[in-house]
């Protein structure tokens, strides 16, 4: 597994270990942490290092590869596009070359709803044409296409999981989101509530939504991690290659998130209304029909207050603070 020391990858590693799988984590620790790898074996290395990858694949006969390693900050991708095409797209190519060379049969890819770009649909399903609005989304779209084309040739069967807005943490506060200067809404709101940021900025209050703020589909990281185990089980049973949305199929506004943090944490904190950011959609919510039908995926944490409670617990106990 690449990127298994990071936020989402570490939750998948933990669940895989708990399910009895043998896991090898390959991570350069640029944004991940050794302490976050709670199962398996950690091998420190970079995806750009083809020779090190060769040695890894020669040592282990992998039944599957799960690929999480990527740069993920939209604003940074606009400022440093080549970093994103290098780290996300070129490094995926390097990895896929080894997957093909060593005959790995299955591949699960960590993708993003950013591949859809600007859409005004109330629910976004997997048939929506891809038109990413930033290099981050474009770099992931290119990686998806490489994987699909390889699968059509003689490559692995695969599941591409397109994440919507991931939040929350392990309910025992062992692992969680530790990225410095993170931009995800729930983490920023929790940090503001705990006094680690001056405020929670609300970017735009004049959107065509019930309270004027953007609406997003927030998925608990534990439910998202479970989707990866379901994807592996699907592929191991001979299931077809698939592209699937990962979300709950309903959204919450920025104001609703801010209120949930106040309510769950019992903390009042400063919220500033500031101008819109370019490119923000009023509404972005997943149609999750396919993942439920194909994988039998059933979320267990579909509750905003539960997501916020786990995120707050993590922020209070995180070793990264």
Cα(163)–Cα(146) distance, integer angstroms: 19
State the DSSP H helix or E strand holding residue 178, giving kind and residue range, or none if neither.
none
The answer to whether residue 109 scores a pLDDT higher than 90 is yes
How far is 249 from 173, CA to CA, in rounded Å?
26
Across 81-91, average pLDDT: 97
Among residues of the chain, what percentage have pLDDT more than 70?
A: 99
- Whether 320 has a pLDDT exceeding 70, the answer reads no
pLDDT given at position 291:
98
Measured between alpha carbons, how far is 208 from 221 in angstroms, rounded to an integer? 29
pLDDT, tens digit, for every residue of 34-45?
999 999 999 999
As a whole number, the mean pLDDT across the chain is 96
Structural domains in the chain, CATH included, are: 7-166+219-247+287-292 (3.40.50.720)
Q: Could you read off the pLDDT of 124-157 as tens digits, one per residue?
A: 999 999 999 999 999 999 999 999 999 999 999 9
pTM of this structure:
0.96
- Helix 91-101 and helix 50-59: axis angle, to 10°? 30
* Catalytic option among 84, 116, 136, 248: 136
Structure tokens at 36: 């976050």
**Torsion sign, CA atoms 14, 186, 257, 121:** negative
Region 14-40 average pLDDT: 97
Question: Which among 28, 290, 73, 45 is positioned nearest to 183, based on CA atoms?
Answer: 73
Q: Work out the number of other CB atoms within 10 angstroms of the CB of residue 132.
A: 20
Out of 11-15, 178-182, 210-214, 280-284, least confident range? 178-182
**What is the reported pLDDT for 182?**
84
For residue 287, give the 3-state DSSP assignment. Answer: coil
Is the pLDDT confidence value at 175 over 70?
yes
In whole angstroms, give the CA distance from residue 120 to residue 251.
14
- Specify whether 136 is catalytic: yes
Neighbour-count burial for 137-151, b at 16+ CB within 10 Å, e otherwise: bbbbbbbbebbeebb
Given a contact cutoff of 8 angstroms between Cβ atoms, the answer to whether 206 and 212 are in contact is yes
* DSSP structure class, residue 197: S
């Amino acid at each position: 597994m690449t990127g298994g020391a990071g936020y989402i990858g570490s939750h998948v590693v933990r669940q895989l270990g708990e399910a009895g799988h043998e896991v090898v984590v390959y991570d350069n620790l640029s944004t991940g942490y050794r302490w976050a790898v709670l199962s398996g074996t950690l091998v420190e290395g970079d995806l750009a290092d083809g020779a090190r990858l060769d040695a890894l694949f020669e040592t282990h006969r992998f039944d599957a590869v799960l690929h999480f390693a990527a740069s993920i900050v939209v604003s940074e991708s606009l400022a440093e596009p080549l970093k994103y095409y290098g780290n996300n797209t070129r490094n995926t190519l390097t990895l896929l070359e080894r997957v093909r060379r060593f005959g790995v049969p299955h591949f699960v890819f960590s993708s993003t709803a950013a591949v859809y770009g600007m859409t005004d649909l109330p629910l976004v399903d997997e048939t929506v044409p891809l038109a990413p609005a930033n290099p981050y989304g474009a770099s992931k779209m290119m990686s998806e296409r490489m994987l699909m084309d390889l699968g059509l040739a003689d490559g692995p069967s695969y599941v591409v999981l397109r994440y919507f807005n991931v939040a929350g943490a392990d309910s025992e506060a062992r692992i969680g989101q530790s990225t410095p200067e993170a931009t995800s809404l729930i983490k920023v709101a929790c940090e503001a509530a705990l006094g680690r940021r001056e405020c929670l900025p609300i970017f735009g209050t004049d959107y065509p939504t019930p309270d004027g703020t953007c609406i997003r589909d927030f998925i608990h990281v534990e439910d998202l991690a479970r989707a990866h185990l379901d994807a592996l089980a699907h592929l191991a049973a001979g299931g077809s290659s698939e592209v699937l949305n990962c979300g709950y199929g309903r959204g919450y506004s920025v104001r609703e998130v801010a209120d949930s943090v106040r309510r769950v944490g019992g903390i009042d904190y400063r919220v500033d209304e500031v101008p819109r950011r370019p490119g923000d959609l009023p509404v972005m919510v997943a149609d999750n029909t396919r993942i439920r039908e194909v994988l039998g995926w059933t979320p267990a944490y579909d509750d905003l207050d539960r997501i916020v409670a786990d995120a707050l617990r993590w922020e209070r106990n995180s070793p990264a603070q």
